[in-house]
């Protein structure tokens, strides 16, 4: 990810670079979840959430909260907030039904249930 960080810095003046960086980090977090590297995925999510909030990327925020919930669950971390429900609620308000359907598949596939 260091290579991507350095490359993104070169193009920091381009307007769409912020969205690109967010989407790269989101995709990377999913790759880490797929490899059962939830701690690393959570680090990426925690680095990406402030950017999502800064640039007001609501759909991406919903996705990241869902992935955060998956990581917390799989790492057996207690959470005061149910991040999966929070992410789904954001997407529901935005009426992003197709994205919600895909994320429900993601939840069913990667959420480890005892």
pLDDT in tens, 79-90: 778 999 999 999
64: domain CATH number? 1.25.40.10
Q: What is the pLDDT of residues 62-102, one digit of tens each?
A: 999 999 999 999 999 987 789 999 999 999 999 999 999 99
Say how many domains are in the chain: 1
What pTM value is reported for the model? 0.86
End-to-end distance of the chain based on CA atoms, in angstroms?
A: 32
Alpha helices in 2-112 (DSSP H): 2-10, 17-34, 38-54, 58-74, 83-93, 97-110
Summarised one tens digit per residue, pLDDT across range 20-33 is 889 999 999 999 99
32 neighbors 74 (Cβ within 8 angstroms): no
**Is 11's pLDDT higher than 70?**
no
- Write out the residue range of the structural domain in which residue 81 sits: 2-110
Q: What is the pLDDT of residue 50?
A: 95
């Amino acid at each position: 990810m260091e290579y991507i960080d350095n490359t993104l810095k070169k193009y920091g003046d381009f307007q769409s670079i912020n969205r690109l960086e967010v989407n790269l980090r989101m995709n990377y977090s999913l790759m880490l979840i797929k490899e059962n590297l939830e701690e690393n995925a959570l680090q990426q999510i925690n680095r990406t959430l402030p950017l999502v909030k800064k640039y007001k990327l609501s759909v991406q925020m919903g996705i990241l909260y869902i992935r955060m919930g998956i990581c917390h669950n799989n790492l057996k971390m207690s959470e005061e907030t149910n991040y999966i429900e929070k992410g789904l609620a954001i997407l529901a308000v935005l009426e992003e039904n197709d994205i919600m359907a895909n994320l429900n598949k993601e939840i069913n596939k990667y959420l480890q249930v005892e």
